[in-house]
Each structure stands twice: as C-alpha cells, then as structure tokens.
Structure 1
Amino acid sequence: MAVNSIKSRVRRFFLMTTAVTFASAAPAFAQDSTPATPDAAAPTSPNINGQGDIIVTAQKRSERLLSVPVPVTAIAPSTLLSESRTQLQDYFDKIPGLSLLSSGSGQFTLAVRGISTSSSSNPTVGIVIDDVPFGASSVTSYSSRLIPDLDPSDLAQVEVLRGPQGTLYGASSMGGLLKYVTVDPSTRGVSGQVQSNLTSVDGGGVGAGLRGAINVPLDDQLAVRVSGFGRRDPGYVDNATTRKDDVNSANAYGGRISLLWRPDANISWKVSALLQNTDGNGTSEVDSDSLFQANTSELSQARLPGTGQYRSRVRLYSSTITANIAGFTLTALTGYGQSKYNAIYDYSPSYGVYSALFSGNPAATGATFHNIYDTRKFTQEVRADRSIGDLLDVTVGGYYGRERTSGQQIINGVLQSANQVAINLATISSHTKLDELAAFGDVTLHLGAFALQAGGRYAHNNQSYPRTAAGVLVAPGTTDIGSKSDLGTFLVSPQYKFSDNAMLYARIASGYRIGGPNPNAAAGVPASYAPDKTVNYEIGFKGSFWDRRLTIDTSLFYIDWRNIQLSLSNPTTGLTYFTNGPRAKSEGVEAAITLNPTDGLTIAANGTYNVAELTRDLPVGGGAGLDGDRLPFSSRFAGNIAIDQTIPLNGTTSATFGGTVTYVGDRYSDFQRTLSLLRPRYPAYTTFDLRAGLKQGPWSVNAFLTNVTNRRGVIGGATRSLQSLASAPFAAVYIRPRTVGLSLSRTF
C-alpha cells in the first residue's frame, strides 16, 4: 500500500479518535442571628457564633447552618491543616455527595450527587471564592478540569452546596457548588496565626509547609490582613525511564492581602488580592493493569524525560462594597480572576506510531502533548436586599460576566532516546470568548413558623470559538464558530420550624450549564449544542436536640436531568462533536449526625446512598451508555465516621485523641465509544486515619497518621492509548499512601 494512502487513513483515524482532545481536554443551628459584617472579629474555624452555631454563607448572607434550607457541608480549615490535608483530593471523601476524578497533573473534575457525563465537558459544579465566580464555563477552555485547589491557610471555611444552585449562582452549578470563604480583616485588634507541618509518605518523600497570617487595625475604621504560605507536597511515584524517585512532588506558594474600610456603620468596602502558584514536578499516574492494580509492588511509571510537569497560576482581585440606604442593603461585588495552566504529557502509546510514520524516522516512536491555557474572567454583581418587618425578605440583583481564554494544544513526535522533536503532528490554537448577562430575584414570606421562599434567574449567553489548526494529522485552517442561548432557573422552598432548633423544608430548584459551538462542525454535525438543565426535588430536616448534644442534617432527593450534554462520534466522518442526548436521574438520601454523649466526646458520621444513572439509552455514536447505566465518578454508597475525645489536663491545657473511618464505593469512568470496549471501573476502598493533639493556651501541636492500612484507593485512571486496544497500557491515580506527620501552630 502506498505511503500516501497509509497517511490518509491515519489522518482519518486520528480525527475519529482524538478530536475530543482538542475540543476539551488532555488525556451545627436556630433562627438566624444578625448577619455578620466584614468588621466581625477574625472567626474560628469553621465560622461559629457565640452560641456555638456553625455559620454559613450558602444564600450569600451569613446564617446559621440549621436555618438554611439548603443541604450544605462546612469544612474547617484548622481540621484540614492539622492533618496536612491541603488539596481537594485529600478531603473530598469527607464531604457527602462530592466526587472527585484526578487526572494526575494538577487536574481535577468534580461532581456532586453524580451529576456528570464526562471529564471532558462543561463543568457541572460551580466554583466561587468569596461569592466571586472563578474559572471558565466552557469545555473549550478546559473548564471541567482546572479547579482552583486553594491552600487552606487563610480560609474561614470550605462550603459545599449540594443540588442545583442556579438561581443565586448561575451557570455551571447544576450539580452543586464549591465555595471558598476567606477570613475578613477586623478592626477589633491585632491577631494572627503561624502554622507549620512536616509529613512523610510511605515509600515516598518528605513534605513540609509554613503558613502565617496577621490582622492589623490601622485605626477604628481601617484594617488590613496579610497572609502567606509555602509548602512542598511529597512525591511517592517513581519514574522507571528516568530512574528518578518521587517524581510527583510539587511546590506551592502564595498569599493574600485584604483591606477593609468602614467610614461609618452603614458603609463598608473590602478589597483583596489572592495568588497561588503550584509547580508540579511530575504526574501522579501509576502504570497499572485494566483493573487499576499497579504493575509492580512499588508505585512506578515509565514516562519520557521532561514530561508530567505542570504549572498552575491562580489570581483573584475583588472588591465588595456594602451600603445600607433607606432600608435597603446594597452590595456591589466586582471580581477579576486569572487561571493559567501549562503542562506536558507523555502520549507515546497514542501517537508514537504516527511519529515514526510521518517523520520517516523509525526512532521517532515517542510523542508529547503540550497544554497551555490562560483564562481571564471579569464579573460584576449588584444586588439589593430588604426586609419588610418580620413578614418579607426580598433580594433582587443583576450579573455580568466576561470570559476570555487563550489555549494551545501541541502534539509533537519525538525521539524516545533523546526526547527531541522529530515532527509536529498537530497544533491547535484557540481563543474562546464568553459573555453572560443575568438578572435574579428571591423572596421569602414568613408566616409564623411557616416560611415560603421563591426565586428565579434569567440569563443570556453569547459564545464564540475561533481556532487555527496546523500539523500533519489535522486539516490546516482557521474557523470561527459561535452560539447563543437564553434560559431561566427557579427555586421554590417551603419551610416549617418546629422550634428555633429544628426545621423541615422542601426544595424544588433548577440549575443549568451553558451550551456552546461545536469545534468540529461539519456535514451531519450540528453547529452548536444547547444548554442542559437539572431540576431537584428534595425534602430535608435539620435539628439540634438535648442542649446541642445531638444534631441531625438529612435530606431525600430526586434530580431530573434533561437534554444532557454528550460527546459523540459522527458515524459518517468519525469526527467527535458535542450534542444533547436524552435523560438521566440522580436520587438518594444523605445524612449527617453529630453526637456529644459526654463532655469532650464527639462522634460525627455522614453517609450517602446515591443512584445516578441514565434513564434512556444514549443515541447512536454515544457508545456504551444504556438505560440504567451509572453516571461517571459517583459511588452508590459512601460515608465516614469520626470519633474524637478531648481531655482537660489543667486550666489551659487539653489533649485530643481521635480517628476516622472512610468508605468510598466503586465508581465508573467516562462512557466508552463502543459497547465492545471496557468501561473503566474504580474499585471501592476504605481508609483509616488516626490523630492526637495537645493544646496549651495559644499553642497547638498535632500528630497524625492517615491511610493507616496503606490502601491504594483509585481516584482516576484510564487507558493511555486513544485507540483503546485490548493490549493498551493503563494508568491509575491513587490516594496518598500512608502518611505520618506533625503540625505546630500558634495564635495571637
């Protein structure tokens, strides 16, 4: 067969199997107290008021957790830091309903209540930092994988809202919301904290971290808070090719400065700047079999020199102005964020054969894939709140968002021995543009113990995707396609309070994610795909009993997911494109219980039973997706139980001992392209953690041992070959192995 004919067929096969790569990705409580102001003293973690109630900001105002008709979990940063849990993959399994998929090079995909169809799609979980939306909304901007994994150093708490949050938070929150809440400056005095930690990973390296924060009042109207951190995350995966150990180590550093000005009791202005840099030295992938069992007793990989490295940059600048005027509370929230990502991967199993064929060099059997993304996002929200006596609470607002993402994806054929470029196989340069304009409102009617909340949001989105292609495996040229959409969301929530400490609520709420243009629009392929939408039906109960010795937070839910977004293969051309499919559902029950049977003893447990599955077969070209098949990344059962005992030693000294058992059920990866191919399944795992601490006045020291039994829990993995042959190599990403560590902190 002529070489030109072979090359022509290879080009077509490449388009059939890799177009999606360029399109998207590379491989607690009582009736609410007075809302807190930015001038409140620096909070403990999590935010707790003077009566011991956990305070959350789920509805964009400070409320006691039991007064909020939303299923929300608040995580204390002090708890995370005491066990050196500084990344999302270290603590996602402690949060009911939250799932995480790790791609091994600083990339994460989140799902709440199983609402996800792919790791390469528009995100289904919204991300906000102090109510400022962060990150891209479109799959063409790598949006579902580039999550801001903030160090807990200057956070008041991490909140996870379950179920659609479209009315208050807009696009991408159709499954839920991840909310970072930072510590505000205070004019009430000088305060701060210093914290350090040291960790050692079984079979790996040593890590360390140092953090500090200080709050300084400049006068009775002005205060500034400054924080900073640096840490080294230890590696535990060895590269057999380069003979380097612990290649997946990473260095992270950053800080935050925030300034608060309160000229009088009715006006406040807070401005802040946050930055975080993460430099990863290698991927966490481990070479495995198709069941994601490591190929060797040690965690190892074989990768080209210079691959696996990644660089992540997070920047956020925000301004919040609050004014009380004529009975209204006016809030103007302005944000400008930047997310940059630069990584290079070893793609030899997928493209090495093309390197040799198109370069004419038999030694060119390696390939690298270089991803470069830079998203800049400006947002402006203005809202007005007013209470009319004890009868009515009203919120109205408007939102504008402007996203611009520059992206470049480069596949080069290289020499295996020297990692020198032999030929450019493909280069895609893109500039995604997205503008959103929205209006929203929320009204709550109070009639004694009964309350009725209703709200809605209307949004208009305008998106374009110009791109340029070059290289021997793609058709060269420039295209510019776009799409527009208009849609609305709603919220209805009746509530009944049995007492100040017990509430029953129902919640019907919807959420959405945007549609978009099709990067590979062609004959038989739609030029764009539409938004999809979820509607959540839920009944929940929250209560605190026996003088706060027992708290219960439980919910029963059903989510109807319509018009689900899919990535399919055109049976005629083989091109991958995005379209809308049939329906799916997520239903289940969540429960969190905290018991304090005796002074100093706390038993906290939470569990989730979640059935997230297709309710109809995927259309032709959708592959292995049949009615009843489970959605990606979600487990049927998950939960944990933690027991902690605090023992007073004298007036200022106490000791704490505790442990946690965590269970994560089996999960499935993305749907495969054909029914004949294996759909990756991640097995269930159980972990045990132990901890002990000593606190004397402002000093605290904590020792911990996590993953005591050294389980290799799988949180990511797939075949490394896009051809998906039966003999293709597989790679797994595991939770951190057994880790022992020590942390020391002092507050002042």
Structure 2
Amino acid sequence: MMITIKEQASTKGRCQTIHAATDQTVDKVGLAGGAVLAMAISAFSAQALAEDLDDFVLEEIIVTAEKIGAKSIMDTSFSISAMNGEKLEEQGITSVADAIAMNPGVSSVEVGGGGNNALQIRGVSSLFGDSTVGYYLDDLPYTQVGQQFVPDTNPYDLERIEVLRGPQGTLYGASSQGGTVRVLTREPQHNEFEFKANAGVSSTSGHGDSWKVQAAVNLPLIEDTLSARLVASRVDEDGFIDLPLTGEDDYNDGEDKSYRAKLLFTPGDNFTLKLSAWHSEVDTAIPYGDDNYEFSPLYVEFDPLSLPALDPAGARPVTAEDLRSQTEFDLYNMTMEYDFENISLYSTTSLIESEQQLDSNVLGSMALLPVENRTLNQELRLASTGDSDLSWTAGVFYMDAKQEQQLATGLLLAGVPDPVMAVAADQQKRSQQWAVFGEAHYEFNDEWKLTLGTRYFEDEREEEDLDATTISTLALFGIDAKRSEEFDKVTSRVNVSYTPNEDSLYYLNVAQGFRSGVAQQGISLLSAAAASVSAPQFSDPEDLISYELGTKLSFMDDKLQLEVAVYYLQWDDIITVLTTIDSVTLLPIAYAENVGEAEGVGLDLGVLYRGIPGLTLQVSGNFNSTEYGEALPLANVDDGDTVVQVPETTFSASAAYQWALSDSGLDGRFHMAYQYTDGRPDYTLGASTESDSFAVLNARLGVEAESWSVYLTGENLTDEDGQISLLASTAPLGVPANRMRPRTIGLEASYRY
C-alpha cells in the first residue's frame, strides 16, 4: 500500500494503515521479506539519520466510502485501505488488478482474457454467478448479469483506489459479499492549467519489448465555474508464450487503450454538476504456458466423407489469431450535488455498454463467445452535513442490466480451410434491481460511537433462450424458453467504535452480505432433463455474515502505525457447479445449485514505520482459512477443503527511500516491493487443481526534479515462473496454467507542467 509523505512542522495527521502477515506467514516468507527490509535499511545515509525527525509526518488520507462526506481512514471503523494515485504512478503500476493485489486478503484470477479478472477478498470467491466483490469506477457500479469478472483498467491519473474489506451489503448492496473496490479518478480543478505525461519502454528476458505512453491535461474554461480534465493512455506489452506447432512466438501480446474526459460545473456555492465519459479497449490473450513458456493447443479435424457420422481424421494447430480476447466498454456518468443548510442531496446516473469476445478456442474445437452488456444505474441519496451528534445517509438505488450472449461452435473438416460454424446457444439475460438503504451514526461522547445500517433489496431476473433449436428442445421437456425469478433481501450492519484518544481506535463490526441467485443455462437444463437429473431453473440467493474486531493505533507522533483485525464469517447456500455423468451417453452434466456452506476465520496485522526522514517501511498481509463445512461429492469437494481460488496467505513488504542529490531540488528515489501469494485450489468437473505459490520482487531507482523524473525499473527480478492459476475446468483437457511475465527491465520518464 501507498502512503503520501508530507513535510510539515506541526500538523498531526491521522494516516492510512495497512495489514501485515501472521506468524505463519512470516515462517513462509520471512527470509525474502527480511531481505527486502535489510536492503532498505542499508540505504540509510548518515546525513538522513542526523536530520530532525519531527519535520516529517504522514499526510492524512481521506476516503468517502461511507457516502457521508470525507473522513480519515484512521477514523473509519472497519477495514479499509486507500492507495494514492500519485504513488501508483511513481511505482509505474499500469494495472488496477496489480494495485489492489497489494492489499491484504485480496487476489485476482484472469478469466476469459481481454483484461477481465475475477476478484476475491477475505476468502469469499466464486467462478460462477455474479461477482462476490463490488467494483466501482467512480460512482459507476460495473455490474454484469451472471458474470463474476471485472475489467482490469489502467490506473493512470487516479485520485485513489479504495478497498473495503468485509461485506458491504448496506451501502453497496448485492455482490459485495467479500468487499468493495472503488476506483476513483482525478477531478477537474478550476483556475489551474496542468499537463503531465509518462512514457516508458521495457524488455522481457528472452522475449520482446513493450512500451507505454500516457498523458493528462487539466483545462480551466470559465473562472471558478467550469473546467475539464482529459486523460489518454496506451500500453503495448509484448508476449512471452510461444506456439511451437505454428512457429509463432510471443503469442500473448497485449494492447490496452483508454480515454477519459471529465467536466466540472459549479455555477454557485451550493450546486455541483459533473459529467464524465470513459472508453477502454483491451486486446490480449491469456498467458497459458508450460514450464518452457510454450502452449500447443490443437483443433480436432473430422473426415467429411464419413457422413452421417463424422469420424476424427487428425488435428490442426490453433493459431495465435484464434487465441485473442477483446473487451471494449464505454461508461457515461452524470452526478449532481446540492448542499442545503444541513443536508446534501446527491444524484448519480450512469450508463455502461460493453462488448466482449472471450477466448474459448483451447478445448479441441473452434468456439466464439461474444457477450454484450448494457447497464443503466441511478442512485439518489440524502446525507446530513451538520455538526450534530447524529449523522446519517439514506438513499434509493435502481439498476436495469441486460446481457446478450452467444456460443458459436465450429466444425473443422479435413482439407477444408474454414470451419463450418453454427450457433449452439443464444441467450438474453436481464436483471432489474431496486433498493432503499440508510446508515445512521450516533456519537454518545468523544469516545463511543454507534453505527446502524440496513438495506432492502429486490431483484427480478429473466433468462431467455433465443435460438430455435434450444427453444424447441426445451419445449419437449416442458421447460419454458423464457424463465424468471424474483429475489429480495434485508441486509444490516452494526458497528460500535471506541476512541479513547486521537491515536487509537477500537471497533466491532457485524455486517451481512448477499448475492442474487442465477439462472440455469438452457443447455444445462436440457442435458440434466435428458439424464433425469433434477436441476433448478434458478439457484437461490446466498447469505453471508461477518464478525470483525479491529484496532488502529498510532505511535511516535504518527511515525509508527499498527492495525490488527480478526474476523469470522459464515457463508450459506453457496452457488456451486455440480457435475454428474449421464449413464447412457457417459458425458458429464454440469449445473448450478445451492449446496454447501463455508466458514472463514482470518487475521490482518499491519505495520508502517516512517521514523527516519525519507524512508518508509511497510509490511502487509493476511492469513485466512475459509473452508467448506461439508463434503460435496458432485462438486469434487471434501469437508474442510479451502474455498475455490482462495490463497490462505498473502504477504507484502516494501521499502521506499528519498534523498537529496543537490541543493537545486534534485532528489534520488528508490522503491522495492515484495509480494507473496499462496497457492489457490480449484475443483470443477470432477477434477482438482492448485496453482503454485509465487513471489514477485519489483524495484525502481530514479532521479526526480520539480517538473520531470527518470526511472530505471525492474519487475519480477527473481524471474519467478510459477503458475498464477491452474483451472480444474480446463487443466484435464491439456490447457496449462497462466504464467507470470518473466524478468522485465525498463526505463521510463515523466514530465509535469
């Protein structure tokens, strides 16, 4: 995590705190983590040691996660982290997924390519149904019906990223069971022209070169009234996986283009209008590869002369062109805020349109999976702004989400260059949601505070099969092609905090999470009905409750911070993919049902030290044990198995040092970060897999002036080649794991005006 450092003589700011590893974590990674800290300590200069420590304090980090104005993280009585956008740029991070993975108990798995990731926080994870983590781009909830992945956006020119750990069912609603991620972009600034740009090149060991160009400009248009901010970025990464069967090298190259525009209008002291638009295009391929960074997928060819039954006649290599995945989205948002005497009225309206072409050509036959989403969101809320002991926020929320998804399969005939394509499935999904919510905070005195929150939520879901073959076949089994179901839920939060002095906070947080049920796909209903297997048309909702005890402490005039949090969660009616075998065809039948439960316990412990001028040392981590509470033979799960895609331990350590190179304002900067993630298990279609545990060491060394900087960068310096994720659904079919990019060395420069 990142902390903003500010030179200041007297202000005592409450600061961002972080989490660290447990004793078990230290046993696993203590040697490497200790090496990082030792290298940082060796960078101390005698001059730095002699400087006056009181001249440096930690700048206060402000968040808006509680939707009731801005608040210091130290005064927020639940687990939340905030990563400053400027610090992300200083560290050269070009991926939101990489940024949030530095938070304790947070990890991601690339799903389907195209820059899409499935997130998990604190052991709440799923590869089926809606996401278990709420994901917001500014005020836009990035929601997709029945899909758990979110876009991996470029974090250039962000204000900050907030990561809320634990269920957020009251303020953020469904699909925030594990927590919520808020990606907040920079706001336009009145009466101030600003331009900044960043460019870099890098080379991956044994492979090709990559480059990036990014820029942002702030334009004052009307004094004190109107301003705009424009951002553009492009990141091109060379691949590092070869296709030996086709002779193509580095097939998994990627291109990420992003454009943003924001307009700020303040015609008076009480009214604010903001308009924003965001366009993103990602074209890439999942880095499937073996230990040699090679992948050898094959299509099966059939003999066209063997009709009516087609017999296998050979195989054809899959080319790099057939392994591409693309994701493109456009986001539009309008927010209006009006301040009355003691109440603020806030409205946010957003539209999300996305198109995806997901990678599905690795399983022996050609397949195309285009997905289109269109989501309209509206939230309206009131919040108190006075100085009363009672503060509150209340609002209403509406969402209309639509999705169209096709599966087109291709039959490859020997001697015929192009496949014979046919639509195997054509589906349309819709979710109409509305909710009312509110939270109240009451301060009994300067030390004790009580928070009560609740949310009532309704969700009407529809699923309709549109292709004629599926419609007619469903009718034979008495199943409607258009199916619908309604879900509703009340979620609550109770929080008690105790602040005996300005340097300590203790809290108890009890919160509920909720995830809507999902529709069974028509093809799953057909295969289950044909085998006389009872599969529900819709799964039921899931429920989760979390109990958390935590403390945030500051010592040595805010130069040392400590945070400890322990939590327990109970997760019921988990939506799980079950697999059985058709006794006639001997083919697997997969369908979703609410079976199983899980319990989780975890510990977050964090330390940050900034007692020596110019030096920041941080350690963050999480130990988590979230296990299934019963055996599920049809899901290949035993009692006590770790929940799918959940690492038991995540750990990171970092050291940053800044020193003066000259009296003219030229500074030297050094940053080193180490990150460790345990292996992640997966159980699907009767198979079990587990990814490798892996560790990444990155470093940056540079020179910075008032208006420019130059850095030498190094990523994955130990050349770790571990399996980031190995999916049980594809590994038995010969699909290897996702691989980490090998050692990459680069040079980048920035300019500010």
TM-score of the pair, normalised by structure 2: 0.84
Q: Secondary structure at the match of 2:156?
A: helix
2:677 to 636, 657, 664: 664
CA distance 1:391–1:78, shift in 2 (3 Å):
closer
Q: What CA deviation, in whole Å up to 9, does each residue of 1:520-543 have, x standing for no partner?
A: 444622222111011110011112
CA distance in structure 2 between the partners assigned to 1:84 and 1:300 by the alignment: 29
- Give 1:184 deviation, angstroms: 0.5
**CA–CA distance in structure 2, aligned partners of residues 390 and 215 of structure 1:** 37
Describe how 1:459-498 pairs up with structure 2 within 5 A: 459-469=457-467, 475=473, 479-498=481-500
Distance between the aligned counterparts of 1:304 and 1:276, measured in 2?
28
Q: Which amino acid aligns with 1:731?
A: P
Q: Secondary structure of the residue that 1:548 maps to in structure 2?
A: coil
Q: CA deviation at 1:153?
A: 1.7
**Residue 283 (structure 1) aligned with residue 286 (structure 2):** yes
Letter in 1 for 2:383: D
Does the C-alpha gap of structure 1 residues 197 and 417 become closer, same or farther in structure 2, counting only changes over 3 Å? farther
Kindly indicate whether residue 268 of structure 2 is the aligned counterpart of residue 271 of structure 1.
Answer: no
The offset of 1:474, in angstroms, is 11
Name which of 395, 398, 412 aligns with 2:396: 398
- Structure 1 window deviating more from structure 2 (155-164 vs 440-449): it is 155-164
Number of the residue aligned with 1:434: 431
Shift of 1:501: 3.2
Q: Which residue of 2 aligns with 1:629?
A: 641
How far the C-alpha of 1:31 sits from its partner, in A, is 7.2
Q: CA deviation at 1:380?
A: 0.4
Equivalent residues in 2 for 1:365-404, closer than 5 Å: 367-387=365-385, 389-404=387-402
- State the partner residue of 1:733: 738
CA contact (8 A) 1:171 1:514 kept: yes
Give unmatched runs, 5+ long, in structure 2.
Answer: 4-11, 17-55, 298-316
- Could you say if the C-alpha distance between residues 344 and 595 of structure 1 is closer, same or farther in structure 2, counting changes exceeding 3 Å? closer
Map 1:313-712 onto structure 2 (within 5 A).
Answer: 313-349=328-364, 367-387=365-385, 389-415=387-413, 420-422=418-420, 424=422, 427-447=424-444, 448-469=446-467, 475=473, 479-519=481-521, 520-521=524-525, 522=529, 524-569=534-579, 575-618=589-632, 621-622=634-635, 624-651=636-663, 652-669=665-682, 671-674=683-686, 677=687, 679-712=688-721
Alpha-carbon spacing, 1:571–1:197, altered in 2? closer, same or farther (3 Å): same
Counterpart among 230, 241, 244 of residue 226 in structure 1 = 230
1:175 match: 178
Indicate the SS of the match to 2:59: coil
1:58–1:70 CA contact under 8 A, matched in 2: no
Are 2:64 and 1:57 aligned?
yes
Distance in 2, matches of 1:474 and 1:102, equals 36
Distance 2:540 2:729 in 1: 31
Cα distance, 1:526–1:515 mapped onto 2, change above 3 Å: same
List alignment gaps of at least 5 residues for structure 1. 1-27, 34-48, 289-293, 350-366
Question: Counterpart amino acid of 1:204?
Answer: H
Contact 2:618 2:655 in 1 (8 A): yes
Match of 2:747 in 1: 742
Q: Distance between the aligned counterparts of 2:564 and 2:417, measured in 1? A: 55
Contact 1:318 1:336 in 2 (8 A): yes
**Matched residue type, 1:391:** D
Q: For 1:559 and 1:685, how far apart are their aligned partners in 2? A: 27
Q: 1:98 aligns with which of 95, 98, 106?
A: 106
Q: TM-score, normalised by structure 1?
A: 0.84
**Is contact 2:117–2:151 with CA below 8 Å preserved after alignment?**
no
Query: Are the equivalent residues in 1 in contact too, given 2:344–2:385 (CA < 8 A)?
Result: no
Q: Structure 1: how far apart are the matches of 2:57 and 2:391?
A: 25
Letter matched to residue 647 of structure 1:
W
Matched with 2:248 is: 244
The equivalences for 1:106-185 within 5 A come to 106=114, 107-116=116-125, 118-136=126-144, 138-139=145-146, 143-145=147-149, 147-185=150-188
Partner secondary structure for residue 166 of structure 1: coil
**3-state SS in 1 of match to 2:481:** strand
CA-to-aligned-CA distance 1:571-612 (integer Å, 9 cap, x gap):
678643222113101211112211013111111110110001
Residue type matched to 2:510 in 1?
I
How far has the Cα of 1:639 moved from its partner? 0.4
Alpha carbons of 1:511 and 1:348: their partners in 2 closer, same or farther (altered >3 Å)? closer
Per the TM alignment, residue 83 of structure 1 is displaced from its structure 2 partner at its CA by 4.5
Matched residue, 1:18: none
Deviations 1:393-440 (A, max 9, x none): 01110000000111111121224776521464x521111111001000
Cα pair 2:57 2:559 within 8 Å, conserved? no
Between the aligned partners of 1:154 and 1:241, the Cα distance in structure 2 is 42
Equivalent residue of 1:483, what SS?
Answer: strand
Report the CA distance shift for 1:155/1:741 in structure 2 as closer, same or farther (over 3 A).
same
SS at match of 1:66: helix
In structure 2, which of residues 301, 324, 338 is the aligned counterpart of residue 309 of structure 1?
A: 324
CA distance in 1, matches of 2:498, 2:97: 37
TM-superposition CA deviations, 1:231-254 (whole Å, max 9, x none): 212211111222121111111212
Q: Secondary structure at the match of 1:152?
A: coil
Output the CA distance in 1 between the equivalents of 2:392 and 2:262: 30
Deviation at 1:544, TM superposition (A): 2.4
Q: What do residues 337-378 of structure 1 show as CA deviations (whole Å, max 9, x unaligned)? A: 1121013432443xxxxxxxxxxxxxxxxx111110111110
Q: Return 76-85 or 395-404, whichever deviates more.
A: 76-85
| Structure 1 Cα separation of the partners of residues 565 and 667 of structure 2 | 36
Q: CA RMSD in A?
A: 2.5
Residues 721, 186 of structure 1: CA spacing in aligned structure 2 closer, same or farther, 3 A cutoff?
A: closer
Count, aligned residues: 663
Change in Cα spacing, 1:584 to 1:243, as seen in structure 2 (3 Å) is: same
Shift of 1:170: 0.8
For the residue of structure 1 that corresponds to 2:626, the secondary structure is strand
